[in-house]
Each structure stands twice: as structure tokens, then as C-alpha cells.
Chain A
């Protein structure tokens, strides 16, 4: 069935370090992929979305779907303190469980 697997957290990085959060998926459908970010005591919000080999970027974050290994890793060349949050990878599907399934989330802490 359809599924999403993310980097096990928590992840701790110093300021200005490079970030990669892994996301792999299994899907029976054409692929729509999303990254959501949830800051402390806030709701999840859409960070970026992509479909079918289309690289996308937002707020300095980038992700490129790679069909050959079913991945959609989130990258940022230089993280800031304000990037500390939980990041969720999500897969667009059809049918039951709504239209998106979410990974378990990865908590990122950026330290000075």
C-alpha cells in the first residue's frame, strides 16, 4: 500500500550547517509530494509541494522528487535558528484516508 518513511529524529544541527531530511515513499498513483513544517505550538503549514520530477523550493528549502528511488528529500544549504521545527513529508493519494498520508515527522533543533 501507500506509505511514507522519514528520517528518524530528532536531528540537531549548528547554525549554518547544511540540512538533509530524508523522505521515501511507496505509491500506486501518480505522485504528488509535500513537505509541511510545524513550529512549536502552531499548526502544520505547507512548506513546498511538487509533482513528477519537478524540483521545488521555498524559503531557502529545496526538494526534488526522484522517481528511481522514490525519494523526496528536503534540503537547505544553511539552517537558521528559526528553522527549528517538526517537518512532515506527505504523499498525495486517492481513495481512503483522505487525499494525503503523512510521515511520522522529524524534529529539527538548530543550536547557536
Chain B
């Protein structure tokens, strides 16, 4: 499968634990985007990364959330000390350099449940 790979598909965490969400972009894609989707709501942009660089993190909450896209390996979205309000679907998307004309390919998402 050459698509965008996200894991895990489902993640359950207790309040106060850490959540790590992984995303491997499509082959040949160098740009990664993370979105959050609350139940019955639309896509909310969180962060845009290229290899080893955060390009735009204007949608990231100021505390507890961080993202990286290292030279080797997948992109990671990390949520520290999770709270019930973090329960959502987190989608990763990737694009080549020409994302604005090519569009994005989305992964199947990680459903985070905080109990």
C-alpha cells in the first residue's frame, strides 16, 4: 500500500498520559499536514511540516501539543497529559512540493479516546 500510513488506528489513553500518533507520507511526498476533527465537526488545521522543519504551526494549541518530521522515520504528533477534550480523530495528509495544485492525500486517521 503506497498510501499515507497512520498508526495506530485507535488509541485509548487515560487522562494525564501521553499520546503519540505516527504518520508515514505517501512515497515521493515531502510535505506533511496534521488535522484534528472533533465529532460532527469539520477539519481543523494543526501543523504543516517538511523534513526536519515546522513550516506552520498556527493551528497547534500552545501547550501539550508538539509535532516533528525527522530526517528518518515518520512524522509524530505528540500530545502530553491528555484531557477528555483531546478525544478526536487526527488525520495526517501528505503532498508533493506542488501541494497547492496536486492536492493532499489523507491517511485513514487515528481515533483518540481519552478516558
Interface residue ranges, A against B (CB under 8 Å): 29, 32, 34, 42-46, 49, 51, 86, 88, 90, 92-94, 96-105
Contacts and interface: CB of A to CB of B under 8 A. Distances in A.
Nearest to B56: A96
A103 B55 CA distance: 21
Contacts, number: 63
Interface residues of B, number: 22
22 contacts: A32-B100, A32-B101, A32-B103, A34-B103, A43-B91, A43-B109, A46-B103, A46-B105, A51-B101, A86-B42, A92-B99, A92-B101, A92-B103, A94-B100, A96-B48, A96-B58, A97-B45, A97-B56, A98-B45, A98-B99, A100-B99, A103-B42
Interface in B34-68: 42-43, 45, 48, 55-56, 58-59
Given A98-B56, A105-B42, A105-B43, A93 B109 contact: no
Given A42-B108, A92-B99, A99-B100, 18 more contacts: A32-B103, A43-B106, A44-B43, A44-B106, A45-B106, A86-B42, A90-B103, A92-B103, A94-B100, A96-B55, A97-B45, A98-B55, A99-B95, A99-B99, A99-B104, A100-B103, A102-B45, A104-B42
